[in-house]
Structure formats: structure tokens, C-alpha cells
Amino acid sequence: MAQLAIGIDIGTSGSRAVAMRPDFSVAAHAAVPLDRFGPNGRDPAVWWAAVEATLKALLSSIDRAAVRAIAVDGTSGTVLPVDGAGRPLAEPLMYNDKVSDDAILAAIARTAPEASAAHGATSGLAKALWFQRLPGVHAVLHQADWIAGQFSGRFDVSDENNSLKTGYDAEEGRWPDWIAETGMRLKLLPAVVRPGSVTGRLTAAAADQFGLRRDMAVVAGTTDGCASFLATGAAEAGDGVTALGSSLTIKILSDRPIFAPRYGIYSHRLGDAWLAGGASNTGGKVLARHFPLAHIVELSAAVDPATETGLDYYPLGAAGERFPIADPSLQPRLLPRPDSDADYLKAMLEGIAAIEALGYRRLAELGAPSLTSVRSVGGGAANAAWTEIRRRKLGVDFLPALSDEAAAGTARLALTGAKEAGLL
């Protein structure tokens, strides 16, 4: 019987699940939208209903007895307060929600080291400080922690990646002393383990509900962003992953952590390595301001990627850039405009590719290894002309992404935990 591990991704629009074999091949996958269970996508009851439905759909197409472990990823910075039984006490604050309490933000700004990811109104720590005021609060958890708790019964444990924006020091492996100086009650923060660590076993109730083995391992997951990187198969220092979506995001696996808050760069621990990266304001949303998608596809077919336009574009939708150039007043460069729409698009694709190359060079300047390979995800990865332009600008091997589903990356962590527990 082929043994399996399950990864669950709970995102902003839905829940996804992947069953994976020990050789990292995918045995099955399933997805369910959140809005099937109500209009409020921030309601934990809606999250869990979607996860239940997704898992049941997945299990209907595999041998349940083969499942050895399960892990969950969630949106980074989504936080909720719970009572002693793990019941939510208030509506969660989502990854992009801001805490508007000036005293909380001032306390963090005053005490947190400059390189900490806990700065800012959307940080997990700001949300934890806000929630600790509630009567009866027993713990403040991240989204992935709470979902995993439905399987293990534990509502007191998190992983290093989700905890980073709440102030966790992954280099030291602990909640740092300065967090207490903000007024945060440390006893409300969960214990933290590395992603892929076993945190418990399936509860009897969960085993009965899903028809799974009682001795199945519940494994610490990660953030959705880290899970998406893992899903591609990138595993060696110097491996990069570029996401070509509405924005341009690049990440590289490093043998040392990189922290450069000026560029919005923080590092998540992945095994014995670190994941560092940054996000530019360029990307597909800039292209969409000039051409509809169908026209981009049509024009791309007329682009010769082997030649240069000679135009030095920096495509932005508005003034301001953070990475790889930290300049809030940086102006877009999209002139002169050639007469040909195909040449205009080509020049923009060249410009975005140049920003991508500069981004990887910037990471190397900050201490990351030099780029050795790239895997591409997102809608732009399917554009053949753009791929060839990028290949020329980056000058490294372009490798296929094994998967672009975050749940597949989380399933890899579940496999790690199952091996640790001796279940594989």
C-alpha cells in the first residue's frame, strides 16, 4: 500500500488539499471555495467548513488507511484570539488588516529591532497586542495553528514561519525578551517549532469524522508563501522561484538569513536553510493597464525574444518602489513609446525581466547566494516570449516547477513529519 501525506492550504478564496506519496508525486488533489459556506471569508467557521469539505473530497479518491500525516498552511499574518478550548473569541484580523491603535504601534516601533518583521500595522504582533485585551483570552494563534488544532486538539503551538511577523526570533529559536517590553503577555503566545515537526496525533473525534488512522501525525505547517516555494521542488541554496502574477515576487533559498527591512526582506527558516525574497511593484498589473490579456497573448506571439528593443523601461503603475530599488518616489519609465504595440509590450517585458535580474543581484549583495536556477509560477510563466527574454537576462537554468499549489508544499512538510515519527 502506497503511504501518503496530506497538505492543506487555506487561502483567501478557498481551501485546497493535496495527497502526496513519499517520492513527492501527487496522488490526488481537491479544492473548495470559501463562499460556498457563507459570504464572510474571515469567519473561522467558514474556514473549517471549507477544510472539512475539501478533505472529504480528497479522501474519497484515495485509500484513507494509507494516510500517515497532515499539515496546514495559512495566510501569513492572519491572527485570532481563542479561549482555553480553542474557540475563537472575536473575528480574526486578516493578513492585510491594519491595527489602528497608535499606542500599540508606538510600543512595537520603540522596542522591536529594526530587522524584525513585527514592525507595522499589519504585523502579527500588533494584532496579538490588540487581541490580548479581550476577556477570557487564553491564546493568540495564527490561522494555520487554529486549523491544525482542529485535527490535533492543540491550540498552543505554531511554526517558525507563521510566527515571524509576531516577533519570533528564528535565529535564536525563541520569543525574544523585547516582546514583553511592548506589553505583550508572553503566556498568550504559542510554543514554536520548526515547520515539518510533529506537534501531535489525530484526535479520536477527528479520526472518526474523516475515517482516518488514530495514530496519524499532525505536523507543523508554514505560511502560504513558503508553501508555494516548497511546492516547486526548489531545495538547494541558490535555487530561485519567481512569481509572475499581478506583481513580481522573487525568492531564493539561502544558507544564511537575510534581513533588510528597507527592501521589505525577511527570512523564513526552511529546514537547515533560509528563504529570502522581495516583491516589486512591477508585474502583470502594469501590463494590464496597457493591454487586455487576450491582446497580450496575441502580441506576444509577434515578439522576437532573441533581440533587444534598446529601450530602458522600468514598468510601474505609479510612482514608488520598494524592491529591488527602495525609493518611494521612483517614477515609472515607459517612454519613448514605439509605434508598434508588439514592440511596446516587448520593451515592458524586457523591463520587468531586468527588474527580476536586479532583484536576484540585490539579494546576493545582501548576503544570499548567487542565483543558480529559476523556477517560475504565476500566469506570466506561461508566456513563452517572456520566458526567453527572462532566460537571456538571468543567464541561469530554467527548471520546471513541480507544482504551483501551496498545498503540495505543505504536503512535503507532512512527509517530513511522518518520517520523523517513524510512520513512513
Give the pLDDT mean for 358-377: 98
Q: What is the pLDDT of residue 251?
A: 98
Cβ-Cβ contacts under 8 Å for 251 (sequence gap 6 or more) = 225, 229, 240, 241, 243, 275, 276, 277
Preceding omega of 324 cis (within 30 degrees of 0) = yes
CA distance 277 to 263: 9
Mean pLDDT of the chain: 97
Measure the N-to-C terminal CA separation of the chain; round to a whole number of Å.
Answer: 11
Q: What residue numbers bound the domain in which 249 lies?
A: 235-399
Q: Please compute the mean of the pLDDT values over residues 349-364 and round it to a whole number.
A: 98
- Which position has the grid cell 539561502? 254
Three cell numbers written together for 343? 514592440
Q: Kindly indicate the confidence band of residue 185, based on its pLDDT and cuts at 50, 70 and 90.
A: very high
* Segment holding 374, helix H or strand E: strand 373-377
Average pLDDT of span 260-272: 93
152, 286: one domain: no
Q: Quick check: 5 pLDDT over 70?
A: yes
> What cell does 318 get?
505609479
Region 25-32: what's the mean pLDDT? 97
pLDDT of residue 270: 94
Asked whether the beta carbons of 267 and 273 are under 8 A apart, the reply is no
% of the chain residues with pLDDT over 70: 100
Does 1 score more than 80 pLDDT?
no
What pLDDT, on the 0 to 100 scale, is given for residue 324?
A: 97
Q: What is the CATH number of the domain that holds 367?
A: 3.30.420.40
Q: What is the residue whose three cell numbers read 505547517?
A: 221
71 and 199 share one domain: yes
Give how many domains the chain has, as a whole number: 2
Whether the pLDDT of residue 83 is over 90: the answer is yes
Domain match, 17 and 166 both: yes
Whether 337 and 379 share a structural domain: yes
Residues 250, 193 within the same domain: no
Q: Are residues 245 and 186 in the same domain?
A: no
H or E, element range at 18: strand 14-20
pTM of the model: 0.94
Tens of pLDDT, residues 130-177: 999 999 999 999 999 999 999 999 999 999 999 999 999 999 999 999
Whether residue 20 has pLDDT greater than 90: yes
Q: What is the mean pLDDT of residues 85-104?
A: 97
Cell numbers placing 196: 515539518
Residue among 293, 280, 279, 281 nearest 345 (CA): 293
Report whether pLDDT(53) > 70: yes
Grid cell, residue 374, equals 529559476
Place of cell 503577555: 185
The reply to whether 345 and 261 lie within a common domain is yes
142 and 259 in one domain? no
Specify the pLDDT at position 2: 86
Three-class SS of 197-264: CEEEECCHHHHHHHCCCCCCEEEEEEEHHHHHHHHCCCCCCCEEEEEECCCEEEEEEECCCCCEHHHC
338 pLDDT exceeds 90? Answer: yes
